[in-house]
């Protein structure tokens, strides 16, 4: 049977690593606000075009910074606040909620086929909340274009210490222009940038199909690990599920993961529809939207990004020809 959305009234303390600080990942639940079925945005609403973070113009950076600053200023118990937004990720990955009717089964959206759709809806609601806060219905999140040479460093907009996009819990050795290693295992390779880029492109080439186990393992997990701070007990923030979304960089990383899902659907038309199993198509989750309505979303509603009214900037795919 498909996974059902959690009952937000029943939240358990999350399973965190022993050395993690005591954090609460339970979400604000506004009693009396039942969930409403998700509806696609109007087909006539403007298309939000997500752009590569390293190519973003000043005006777009300023808008994004303003939106995140406003989100961080909202009271912690507001479902749209940054404090709640990062907890959504923690709640769905660290066992805060059981599956309805199965108290021994915790909801976990990693390492399984819910990975792509869950993160797609997460970014979708996050993006629309940010846009609403600045009154811009074209606002779009940037993506970390780590599959192309120009994007193979931490995007500079996140490294500005006076920006709301900054997070101090990151690996200080991996500041731009240090080259990203898409297969990072905890040790930096001492090879020239050109060689690292070449390796990265070959890694991308070997990831032709989305699905549990491929892109989620590499490069999704290594990029988290590479970004997090090795001085923290669990690689916080990006290096651990519970804390990853405390870093705004998370949303750029997942923008590219989501973009890869779209790109692959296009490269292989046979992939376009994804799985047809109703256990996947009818799996449901809950997300607060920009109007602070609790929306019940189903996987089948997120398969078409045009219907969700967003798209990705068309940038080159240099790895498509990078045979290992």
**30 scored as a contact of ligand C2O (CB under 6 A):** no
Binding residue for ligand C2O, selected from 23, 69, 110, 296, defined by CB under 6 A:
110
Measure the CA angle with vertex 266, ends 226 and 158; round to 5°: 30
**Total number of residues that touch ligand C2O (CB under 6 A):** 8
Residue 170 interacting with ligand C2O (CB under 6 A): no
96 binds ligand C2O (CB under 6 A): no
Q: Is 253 a catalytic residue?
A: no
Distance CA 140, CA 47 (A): 9
Give the largest Cα separation in the chain, rounded: 58
Q: How many H helices and E strands in the chain?
A: 8, 7
- Active-site residue identified among 119, 126, 174, 253: 119
Nearer to ligand C2O, 78 or 237 (CB): 237
Q: Does 126 contact ligand C2O by CB under 6 A?
A: no
CA 179 to CA 319: how far, in whole Å? 17
The answer to whether 158 and 252 are in contact (CB under 8 A) is: yes
| Minimum distance of ligand C2O from residue 123's CB (angstroms) | 11
User: Tokens 């046979």 map to which residue?
Assistant: 270
Lay out the sheet containing 284-288: strands in order across.
36-37, 294-298, 284-288
By CB under 6 A, tell whether 224 contacts ligand C2O: yes
Site for ligand C2O in 225-244 (CB under 6 A): 244
Minimum distance between the CB of residue 93 and ligand C2O, rounded to whole angstroms? 6
Cβ closest to ligand C2O, residue 254 vs residue 298 = 254
80 forms part of the interface with ligand C2O (CB under 6 A): no
Q: Which conformational region is residue 236 in: left (phi greater than 0), alpha (psi within -120 to 50 degrees), or beta? A: beta
Signed CA dihedral, 102, 106, 109, 111: sign only: negative
Residue 126: active-site member: no
CB 200, CB 152: distance < 8 Å: yes
Nearer to ligand C2O, 132 or 234 (CB): 234
As measured in angstroms, the least distance from the Cβ of 92 to ligand C2O is 8
Supply 277's token pair.
């199993």
220 labelled catalytic: yes
Query: Closest approach of Cβ 253 to ligand C2O, in Å?
Result: 6
- The binding track of 181-220 with respect to ligand C2O, each residue x by CB under 6 A or -, is ---------------------------------------x
Buried b (16+ CB within 10 A) or exposed e, 27-55: bbbeeeeebeebeebeeeeeebebbbbbe
Residue with tokens 């404090």: 83
By CB under 6 A, tell whether 293 contacts ligand C2O: no
Among the options 54, 89, 126, 174, which is catalytic? Answer: 89
Please tell me which residue in 220, 225, 250, 287 is annotated as part of the active site: 220
Q: Is 110 a catalytic residue?
A: yes
- Catalytic, 174? Answer no
Mapped onto helix, strand or coil, the DSSP state of residue 195 is: helix
Of 91 and 93, which has the nearer Cβ to ligand C2O? 93
Signed CA dihedral, 63, 67, 70, 72: sign only: negative
Residues at the interface with ligand C2O (CB under 6 A): 89, 93, 110, 119, 220, 224, 244, 254
Instruction: Report the catalytic residues.
Output: 89, 110, 119, 220, 224, 241, 254
């Amino acid at each position: 049977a498909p996974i059902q959305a959690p009952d937000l009234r029943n939240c358990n303390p999350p399973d965190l690593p022993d050395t993690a600080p005591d954090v609460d990942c339970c979400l604000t639940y506004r009693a009396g606000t039942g969930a409403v079925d998700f509806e696609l945005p109007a087909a006539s609403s403007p298309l939000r075009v997500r752009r590569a973070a390293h190519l973003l113009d000043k005006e777009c950076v300023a808008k994004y910074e303003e939106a995140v600053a406003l989100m961080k200023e909202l009271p912690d118990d507001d479902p749209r606040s940054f404090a709640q937004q990062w907890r959504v990720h923690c709640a769905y990955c660290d066992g805060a909620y059981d599956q309805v009717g199965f108290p021994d089964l915790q909801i976990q959206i990693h390492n399984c086929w819910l990975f792509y759709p869950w993160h797609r809806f997460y970014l979708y609601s996050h993006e629309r909340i940010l846009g609403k806060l600045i009154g811009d219905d074209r606002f779009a999140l940037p993506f970390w274009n780590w599959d192309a040479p120009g994007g193979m460093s931490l995007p500079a907009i996140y490294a500005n210490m006076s920006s709301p996009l900054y997070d101090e819990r990151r690996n200080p050795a991996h500041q731009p222009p240090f080259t990203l290693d898409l297969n990072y295992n905890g040790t930096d390779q001492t090879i020239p940038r050109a060689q690292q880029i070449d390796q990265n492109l070959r890694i991308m080439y070997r990831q032709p199909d989305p699905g549990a186990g491929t892109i989620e393992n590499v490069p999704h997990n290594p990029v988290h690990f590479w970004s997090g701070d090795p001085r923290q007990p669990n690689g916080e923030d990006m290096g651990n599920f519970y804390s990853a979304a405390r870093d705004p960089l998370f949303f750029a990383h997942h923008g590219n993961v989501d973009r890869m899902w779209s790109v692959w659907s296009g490269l292989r038309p046979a992939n376009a529809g994804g799985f047809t199993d109703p256990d996947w198509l009818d799996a449901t989750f809950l997300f607060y939207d920009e109007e602070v309505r609790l929306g019940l979303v189903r996987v089948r509603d997120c398969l078409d990004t045009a219907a969700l009214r967003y798209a990705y900037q068309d940038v080159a795919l240099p790895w498509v020809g990078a045979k290992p």
